[in-house]
Structure 1
Amino acid sequence: MTKDVKLSNVKGLLIFLVVLGHLLLIVRGGMESLIILIYSFHMPAFIFLNGYFAKNVNWKKILNLLVLYIIFQSFYAVITYITHYGEVFSFRFTTPIFHLWYLVSLSCFYAVAIILNKIGKFRIGSIFIVVVILIMSVGIRWWTTGFLMEHPTISGQFLSLQRTFVFSPFFLLGFYINKETMGKLSNFLGTFKWKVFLSSLLIFIVIYTLSRNPLQFENAFYGFLQSSAFADSVSQLLKVEFQQYIVALLMIAIIFMLVNNRENILTKWGDNSLVIFLFHPVFFFVIRMHATDFLHWNIFVKLAFVVCISILVCSFLVAISRYIRWLLYPVDNILEFQEMKNKELLKEEV
Structure 2
Amino acid sequence: MSTKSRNYFLDNYKAFLILLVVIGHFIEPCYTNTLFLTVLKWFIFSFHMPAFIFISGYFSKKDMGLEKLIQKLVIPYFVFELLYYFLYVFVIHKETGLYFNRPKFSLWYLMALFFWRIATPYVKKIPGNLFIAITGGLLIGFTQLGNFFSIPRTLFFYPFFLAGYYFQESWFESIRRHWKAFTVGLASLAGLLGGWVLITGQELTPFIFYGRYSYEDMGLTNGWGLLIRLVCYGISFLAIFALCAFIPRKQHFYSILGVRTMPIYLFHGLVYSILKDSRILEKVDFPVETGLLLGFCVLLTFALATELPYKFTTWISSFPVRLPKSFSRSKKTAV
TM-score, normalization by structure 2: 0.82
Letter in 2 for 1:328: T
Deviations 1:44-91 (A, max 9, x none): 000111111111141234212011111101111111234537313x33
Match of 1:51 among 54, 57, 70: 57
Give the deviation of 1:199 after TM superposition.
5.1
1:206 is aligned to 190
Deviations 1:193-234 (A, max 9, x none): x69xx8599569637845864952422211111110235433
- In 2: Cα distance, 1:93 partner to 1:4 partner: 35
Deviations 1:9-54 (A, max 9, x none): 0000000000000110133322233212211111000011111111
Give the deviation of 1:324 after TM superposition.
3.9
Mapping for residues 161-172 of structure 1, pairs under 5 Å: 161-172=151-162
Mapping for residues 18-29 of structure 1, pairs under 5 Å: 18-28=21-31, 29=33
Q: What is the aligned length?
A: 310
1:344 is aligned to none
Give the deviation of 1:93 after TM superposition.
0.5
**In percent, how many aligned pairs have the same letter?**
23
2:330 is aligned to none
Deviations 1:171-208 (A, max 9, x none): 111111123324543x436xx6x69xx85995696378
- In 2: Cα distance, 1:280 partner to 1:91 partner: 20
Match of 1:32 among 24, 35, 38: 38
Letter in 1 for 2:207: N
- In 2: Cα distance, 1:210 partner to 1:269 partner: 34
Deviations 1:103-136 (A, max 9, x none): 01111111123335xxxx4xxx422655543322
Please say if 1:12 is aligned against 2:34: no
Match of 1:178 among 149, 168, 172: 168
Deviations 1:286-343 (A, max 9, x none): 2213325752741x2232122101111011112234x64253353533369xxxxxxx
Change (3 A) 1:296 1:77: closer
- Which has the higher mean CA deviation after the structures are superposed, 201-210 or 17-26? 201-210
Query: For the pair shown, which has the larger CA radius of gyration, 1 or 2?
Result: 1
Q: Which runs of 5 or more structure 2 residues have no equivalent in the other structure? A: 323-335
Please say if 1:309 is aligned against 2:296: yes
Change (3 A) 1:262 1:180: closer
- In 1: Cα distance, 2:289 partner to 2:295 partner: 10
Letter in 2 for 1:164: T
Question: Conserved in 1, the CA contact under 8 Å of 2:17 and 2:52?
Answer: yes
Question: Conserved in 2, the CA contact under 8 Å of 1:12 and 1:267?
Answer: yes
Match of 2:305 among 295, 318, 326: 318
- In 2: Cα distance, 1:295 partner to 1:184 partner: 45
2:119 is aligned to 112
- Structure with higher helix content: 1
- In 2: Cα distance, 1:265 partner to 1:114 partner: 36
RMSD value, Cα? 2.9
Change (3 A) 1:200 1:275: farther
Q: Which runs of 5 or more structure 1 residues have no equivalent in the other structure? A: 149-155, 337-350
